[in-house]
Amino acid sequence: MTKQDWTEKYSKKVLTARKAIRKIRRGTRIFLGTGCGVPYHLVQELANHADQMADNEIVHLLTLGDTPSADPQFQTQFRHNSFFISENMREAVTEGRADYTPIMLSDIPRLFRSGKMPVDVAMIQVSPPDEHGYCSLGISVDITKSGAESADIVIAQVNERMPITLGDSFMNVRDIDYLVPFTEPLREFQAAEVDETIDLIGSYVARLIENESTLELGIGALPQAVCNNLMESGVRDLGIHTEMFSDSLIPLIEEGVVTCKKKTLHRGKVIASFAMGSEKLYDYVHDNPLFEFRPSEYVNDPYIIGENNKMVAINSALEVDLTGQVCADSIGHKFYSGIGGQVDFIRGASRSPDGKAIICMQSTAMNGKISRIVPRLSEGAGVVTTRGDVDIIITEFGLASLHGKTIRERVLSLIAIAHPKFRNELLEAAKAMKYVHEDQVPFLSQGTYFASEYETQETFKGPDGPITVHFRLIRPDDTDRIKELFYDLSEESIFFRFLTPLRSLRRQTLQEFYNVDQDRDISIVAVIKPDEEEEAERIIGAGRYLLNRSTNEAEFALLVQDEYQGRGVGTFLLNHLMRIAKSKGVEAFVAYVHPRNQPMIRFLHKTGKIIESRLSMADEEYVFKLNL
C-alpha cells in the first residue's frame, strides 16, 4: 500500500506531529518506544511544545541519543522514569531530575496491564500499514507492544524506513489513535571496540558453548567478542533466544554457525524482542522469516527460556563479592544501568537442560586501580543476581563456577580470576571474615589459571569404555577434588606417592598440590568432565614439576587413580609436563622413587628417556634423571 493510499484510507487518524502532541494533556504519563525504535520526530516535537506541558511523566525502557525532554530547563514540564538507565539518562537520574524503576524486564508488561502503572499516552514508531491495516513495530517490540496496548491514546510515527519484522510484532491501525507520517533514518547503535581484554573474556565464554546451544547475546563489545570467538571455535547449529541483538549476529548466520535447526523451542527461528545496530542490520531483518520478534513478557519469561536445551545466558556485572552476589545496576549509591533481563535469563538458563548462566566483567575498574571482585559489595550497591542464582563468573583471568559451591570454594574460585595484584589482598579479607582457613596459602600465580596453552585432551580406554580426559592447570578451588582423588587411592599408591602410610590428607599437604606459581613451577591435573553419568568434574590424576633454579632441572611427581593406571593417562601426563618444561628451557626432569615402587620404575624405563639412574642408600630411594 502506497503512502497516498493509506493516508487517504485512514485520513481521519492522520495528523502532523504538532497536532498529535496537542492531544496530550498536562499531568499525564507518556510511554516512549525503545532504543533505536524511539519515535524521534515525536520526541522532538514534544520538546518543542514543552510550554504546553506540566508534570508529564515519560516512561521508557531504553533511549538513545538526544532526549531534549530530559534537559534541566524542562524540569517542571517533564520527568523521565527509566526501567534501564542509558547513557543519556545517567546524569538526570544522578542529579535527581529523573527516576529509575528497578524491575525485571519480564514483569514490566504486567505493570502496565494491571494498572499499577497506567499509561495515558504511548508514543511509538511503526512501519506503514499493509492492505489489512497491520503495522509492524519493527525493531522494537519488547515492552512497546504492551505499553501501546495498555495506553488510552496511541500516537504512532509511521516511518517508511522501519523494517517489517515477523512474529508477534504487529498492531492494527484500529488500535492506533493517531498516525503521524514522517520518514527519517532509524537511529543506529555502534558497539564499543573490542579490546584485548574483552576479546579474552569472549574467548572464555566461547569455550563453554557447545554444538546446538541456544544463546542470549545482547549488544555491545562483549557480545561482539563472543561472536568473533565463536566464528573460530568450530561450533555449529547454534540457536538464538535473546531479548536483543546487534550486527554481530549476522556473520554467525551467514557462516552457518547459527542455524536454529536444533532448537527445542521455535526450531528454525531467531527469537528476540528488539534489535539495535546499523542500517545493514535493519535491512537484514526486514521481512526475514528467520527472525521472530515477540514481546518481552514472552521472550524474557524464565519458563519459556528454560524450554530451550543448552540455553546459555550471557550477561555483565559491575561488581561481584566473594560470596557470589552480583551488582549490575549501580556503582555504590549511584544508579548506573538497570536490572534489565539479567535475572530473567539467569533463572531461565538454570532451568534449561545443560544450561549455563554466565556473568562477565573485567577484573578491574578505574584503569586498574580497583578490583571488581570485592570482599563485600560497595555501600549502597544493589544485588541483581543473588548468590543463590549465580552460576558462572568470567573475567579476563578465567572462569569461576559457583553454583552449588560452598562459600569457601566460591572465595577460592573468585580470587583465582581476580587481577593478580588484588588476589592476596582479597584472601586476607576472606580470612578475616572466616570464609577460608587461616592457614590458606597465598596465591603465587601472577597470571591466569586458565591458560589455553597448557590445556589439552586425549581419549583413553577407561574401566567402562572410552573416556575423554582433559588436562589443565590445577587451581586453588580444586582442593576438594584433590581430596576425593586421595581417598580413591589404594594404600599402596598413597605410600609410594607420599612415602608414608597416610590415613588422612592434612590441609598443608593438600595445599602443596596447587601452591605453585604456574610459571617456573607447573602443576597439571587430569580431569573427567561432567556428562550424563558424571554429575561433577572429577580429577583422576595429577602431575607437577618444581624447578631447581641452580641446576635448571625439575623434580617431578605423578599420581593417577588406581583404576586409571596402566591406561596411558600417566604417560600422557608426563609427556605433557615435559613439553611445557621444554618450552620454558628446563634441561631435565628428576624423579625420586621408592625402591619397592616397581610399577613406577618400570613406567620410567618404558619412557626411553632415562639418561641417569642411581640408588641412594642413605635416602632409600632411586634417583632417575630424564631427558626432555
Regarding whether 533 and 462 lie in a shared domain, the answer is: yes
Give the mean pLDDT of 94-118. 96
Regarding whether 156 and 23 lie in a shared domain, the answer is: yes
Residue position matching grid coordinates 577460608? 436
Q: Is residue 368 part of a domain?
A: yes
Q: Is residue 613 part of a domain?
A: yes
Calculate the average pLDDT of the chain: 93
Q: What is the pLDDT of residues 401-427, one digit of tens each?
A: 999 999 999 999 999 999 999 999 999
> pLDDT band for position 533 (50/70/90)?
very low
Q: What is the pLDDT of residues 204-238, one digit of tens each?
A: 999 999 999 999 988 889 999 999 999 999 999 99
DSSP H helices in 257-385:
279-285, 296-299, 302-305, 342-351
Handedness of CA 199, 201, 205, 208 (dihedral sign): positive
What pairing do the DSSP bridges indicate for beta strands 170-172 and 134-136?
Answer: antiparallel
Q: Which of 270, 299, 328 is the last residue of a domain?
A: 299
Regarding whether 557 and 525 lie in a shared domain, the answer is: yes
Residue position matching grid coordinates 512501519? 127
Task: Specify the higher pLDDT residue, 66 or 556.
Answer: 556
581 and 554 in contact (C-beta within 8 Å)? yes
Torsion of CA 429, 430, 436, 442, to 10 degrees: -50
* Per-residue pLDDT at 501: 65
* Per-residue pLDDT at 271: 98
Q: Is residue 207 part of a domain?
A: no
Q: Is residue 208 part of a domain?
A: no
Q: How far apart are CA 292 and CA 542, in angstroms?
A: 49
Q: What is the pLDDT of residues 435-488, one digit of tens each?
A: 999 999 999 889 999 999 999 999 998 888 899 999 999 998 898 888 888 877
Regarding whether 55 and 102 lie in a shared domain, the answer is: yes
Regarding whether 291 and 321 lie in a shared domain, the answer is: no
Q: Is residue 205 part of a domain?
A: no
Regarding whether 166 and 25 lie in a shared domain, the answer is: yes
- The residues, ordered by sequence, that sit 6+ positions from 15 with a Cβ below 8 Å of its Cβ are 178, 179, 180
Lowest mean pLDDT among 152-161, 256-265, 373-382, 443-452: 443-452
Q: 194: which 3 cell numbers?
A: 573490542
| SS3 of the chain: helix, strand, coil, percent, to 5 | 30, 25, 45
DSSP state of 269: -
* HEC-encoded secondary structure of 229-241: HHHHHCCCCEEEE
Q: Is residue 57 part of a domain?
A: yes
> pLDDT band for position 494 (50/70/90)?
low
Phi, psi of 228 (to 5 degrees): -60, -45
384 and 326 in contact (C-beta within 8 Å)? yes
- Closest residue by Cα to residue 248 from 205, 210, 287: 205
CATH number of the CATH domain containing 611 = 3.40.630.30
- Closest residue by Cα to residue 603 from 559, 555, 563: 559
- The residues, ordered by sequence, that sit 6+ positions from 298 with a Cβ below 8 Å of its Cβ are 168, 273, 304
Q: How far apart are CA 216 and CA 350, in angstroms?
A: 13
Q: How far apart are CA 25 and CA 57, in angstroms?
A: 11
* Per-residue pLDDT at 500: 65
> pLDDT band for position 531 (50/70/90)?
low
DSSP H helices in 36-131:
40-48, 87-94, 108-113
Q: How far apart are CA 612 and CA 279, in angstroms?
A: 70
Task: Specify the higher pLDDT residue, 88 or 258.
Answer: 258
Three-point CA angle 19, 20, 22, nearest 5°: 65
CATH number of the CATH domain containing 421 = 3.40.1080.20
Q: 437: which 3 cell numbers?
A: 582457613
Q: Is 111 exposed, middle or buried (0-12, 13-18, 19+ CB in 10 A)?
A: buried
Q: Which of 299, 334, 352 is the last residue of a domain?
A: 299
Query: Total structural domains in the chain?
Result: 4
Q: Which of 299, 325, 358 is the last residue of a domain?
A: 299
pTM, full prediction: 0.93
Q: What is the pLDDT of residues 152-202, one digit of tens each?
A: 999 999 999 999 999 999 999 999 999 999 999 999 998 889 999 999 999
Regarding whether 481 and 426 lie in a shared domain, the answer is: no
Structural domain harbouring 124: 3-181
Identify residue 153 by its one-letter amino acid code: I
Regarding whether 477 and 400 lie in a shared domain, the answer is: no
Q: How far apart are CA 438 and CA 404, in angstroms?
A: 23
Is residue 292 among the annotated active site residues?
A: no
Q: Is residue 592 part of a domain?
A: yes
Identify residue 293 by its one-letter amino acid code: F
DSSP state of 22: T
Q: Is residue 206 part of a domain?
A: no
| % of the chain beyond a pLDDT of 90 | 79
Distances (CA, A) of 404 to 204, 327, 411, 414: 21, 20, 13, 14
Regarding whether 176 and 60 lie in a shared domain, the answer is: yes
For the cut 80, the answer to whether the pLDDT of residue 622 exceeds it is yes
Regarding whether 248 and 136 lie in a shared domain, the answer is: no
For the cut 90, the answer to whether the pLDDT of residue 532 exceeds it is no
DSSP state of 516: S
Kindly give the interhelix angle for 221-233 and 196-207, rounded to the nearest 10 degrees.
Answer: 50
* Per-residue pLDDT at 534: 47
Regarding whether 315 and 390 lie in a shared domain, the answer is: yes
* Catalytic option among 243, 319, 396, 409: 243
CATH number of the CATH domain containing 67 = 3.40.1080.10
Regarding whether 616 and 510 lie in a shared domain, the answer is: yes
Q: 524: which 3 cell numbers?
A: 597439571
CATH number of the CATH domain containing 227 = 3.30.750.70
